[in-house]
Amino acid sequence: MTELTPVPAVLASVRHARREIARAAHLTGLFPRPDEVEATLRELAALEAQTTALRLRLMASAGPVAASTGARDVGAWWADALRADHRAARADLKLARALDRYEVLAAALAEGTVSVEQARVIARALDALPDDLAPGEVSKAEAVMVDEAARLDPARLRTVGAHLLEVLDPHRAETELGKRLLAEEERAHRRTSLTITDPGDGTMFLRARLPRATGVRLKTYLDAFTQPRLAQLAERGKTVPYDRLLGTAFGQLLERIDPDTLPHHGGDATTLIVTIDVNQLNKELGTATIGTGHGPDGGEISAAEARRLACTAGIIPAVLDTHSEVLDLGRKTRLFTPAQRKALRIRYPTCAVDGCEVPAPWTDAHHLHPWAGGGLSDLSNAVLFCRHHHRLAHNPAYTLTRHPDGSIRFHRRT
């Protein structure tokens, strides 16, 4: 890069520029035409880029200043001296050092034809090029990126930068892309994590970091549950936050998993046990215990939810007497068979509730006469409910009516 002007002259110019900007600040509101406002904003954007370019050039040579204060580096000194954010200061120092390597980019920033954000994108793209590229190839890539910055915002410029090697060497780009994706996937698998915590308020916090392929697959599955619900809400002129829809869809997805396809755990296919006292079972507002009853592996749920879960594959209801002895350990044979579900799907192409259009594959088979009260797993005692209406079916605040055509309508108790 060209040699810096002596600091006293630079300092004098900067102070003069600050005085001029302060004077201009008192003139705002005096623009009679919109085109003058636009032109001034464009000039200010260029001025900001030029000012930043000058600051970054000075930061790149401010090592002795930082050393004199005992700072770890220029970024740390700058953050401390200007009470700036340390992360932003380190990012600025990184860009300052990049501008020392890329003269065309530095000149464009100094002229105000490239913004600071564009400069960061360009520097990252150039730094990501293979180390063994010829200097002429790097210069060609730099020129391409600076030219593209004249018409692209930082986001679209980032896309160009990701495929920069294709401009220089299309054959090599394919090989390098394969290497990069493989490295990304290996790194993603090493960083994969999932934590489940219980805040004690009836919810569970689930935080996950997944490989891209796994995340896309999960979102695709969840969208299969959310899209029909979104369509229903749109028809009624209602909206529900998308994150809530995804959370509900996640629960539906889990309830659709066939336990027989899961790995064996503790000598049996992974199965969840819901324990409930016989007296609680028959109460509208009773309670039950799910899983171990402790922490992330269990806890208390309502009797209504226990009755609903009893309709779900992989959930075994354990009914206790007053002495905590097992009266009945429900088995999966209490559930409707695959053949019965096929018959129900013919009878109910969608959720059985009048007006609900959730497709049959995404519904639960429900006992109209509850199994807890001796209801049989017969087709005459079965309907299909979507998750929302299945909850209402077990909610003591609602009653349901079955019409002659087999459709269901819910009514809130008064």
Burial group, residue 306, by CB count within 10 angstroms (0-12, 13-18, 19+): buried
Q: Which of 166-175, 279-288, 365-374 has the lowest mean pLDDT?
A: 279-288
What mean pLDDT is predicted for residues 135-164? 88
Q: DSSP string covering 141-182, please?
A: HHHHHHHHTTT--HHHHHHHHHTHHHHH-HHHHHHHHHHHHH
279-288 pLDDT, tens per residue?
555 555 566 6
Q: Where are the domains of the chain?
A: 7-171, 192-256, 259-334, 336-412
- Rounded Cα distance, 99 and 111, in Å: 13
Beta strands 315-320 and 272-277: pairing type? Answer: parallel
Question: 26-42 b/e with 16+ CB inside 10 Å = b?
Answer: eeeeeeeeeeeeeeeee
**Are 288 and 280 a contacting pair, CB within 8 Å?**
yes
Evaluate if residue 154 carries a pLDDT over 70. yes
Number of alpha helices (DSSP H) and beta strands (DSSP E) in the chain: 17, 13
Residue with tokens 């790995």: 263
User: What angle separates helix 86-101 from helix 74-82, to the nearest 10 degrees?
Assistant: 130
**Are 408 and 400 a contacting pair, CB within 8 Å?**
yes
310-330 pLDDT, tens per residue?
665 555 555 555 554 544 444
What mean pLDDT is predicted for residues 380-395? 84
Model confidence pTM above 0.75: no
Which of 80-84, 88-92, 140-144, 264-268 tops mean pLDDT?
140-144
State the pLDDT confidence band at 194, using cuts at 50, 70 and 90: very high
Which of 103-112, 169-178, 227-236, 330-339 tops mean pLDDT?
103-112
- CA-based nearest residue to 172, from 125, 121, 127, 129: 129
Higher pLDDT, 232 or 71: 71
The SS3 assignment for 277 reads strand
Q: What count of other Cβ atoms lies within 10 Å of the Cβ of residue 157?
A: 22
Strand (E) or helix (H) holding 334: none
Evaluate if residue 164 carries a pLDDT over 70. yes
Evaluate if residue 383 carries a pLDDT over 60. yes
Indicate the DSSP class of residue 406: S
